[in-house]
A and B are shown apart, each in its own frame.
Chain A
Amino acid sequence: KQEVTQIPAALSVPEGENLVLNCSFTDSAIYNLQWFRQDPGKGLTSLLLIQSSQREQTSGRLNASLDKSSGRSTLYIAASQPGDSATYLCAVRGGYQKVTFGTGTKLQVIP
């Protein structure tokens, strides 16, 4: 059974700081990994999708890496802004298209 862990569970940083969110998974037989953000009371917004054959994806200030063999992914946020405050979730897609989500990292960026 796939298990996805995100560390830290919560993070508070001053505006402008660069930060790294971690995601680890137990079964490396995945098709892809996706990072989302979830704002309070709202649905999920896709940030980046990394296929199993890829090592990283970039979008603006966000960079996500994937090391499938070690079961790890990181989401790097550069020059954090208060608008980045949200819960960040990683999700891995495995067999039968089953998607397993991590428990999330709640990020607060302090102005």
Chain B
Amino acid sequence: GAGVSQSPSNKVTEKGKDVELRCDPISGHTALYWYRQSLGQGLEFLIYFQGNSAPDKSGLPSDRFSAERTGGSVSTLTIQRTQQEDSAVYLCASSRARGTETQYFGPGTRLLVL
């Protein structure tokens, strides 16, 4: 597709369940970013990939969060044992290269943990 796509668009889950969020970046974009936007809060940087590697994982909120990227394309953000405070919109962005390029955002995944 022409833009960044994310799936699912909405996810409702029960506390304690695991969820997996998917991001398909723009074709050819080597850099990929995950953010979280909680209700009434600003955007929080989670993790950045250059190719398949993530040089800095310190933005992940807890060890229940993990992310991977395979083939330099699709990325998945996994949240284990979800908590109610994990409820947020999870946004993915990609850019052509690291550092200097414009980021293009996907529509986000709205996660609600009951």
Contacts and interface: CB of A to CB of B under 8 A. Distances in A.
Partners in one complex: yes
Interface of A: 31-32, 34, 36, 42-46, 49, 51, 89, 91, 93, 96-104
A34 B56 contact: no
Contacts of A46: 102-105
Contact of A49 (B35, B56, B98, B102): B102
Contacts of A96: 48, 55-56
Interface residues of B, number: 26
Contacts of B16: none
B45 A98 contact: yes
B70 interface: no
A109 B102 CA distance: 27
A82 B59 CA distance: 36
A97 B91 contact: no
Nearest to A49: B102
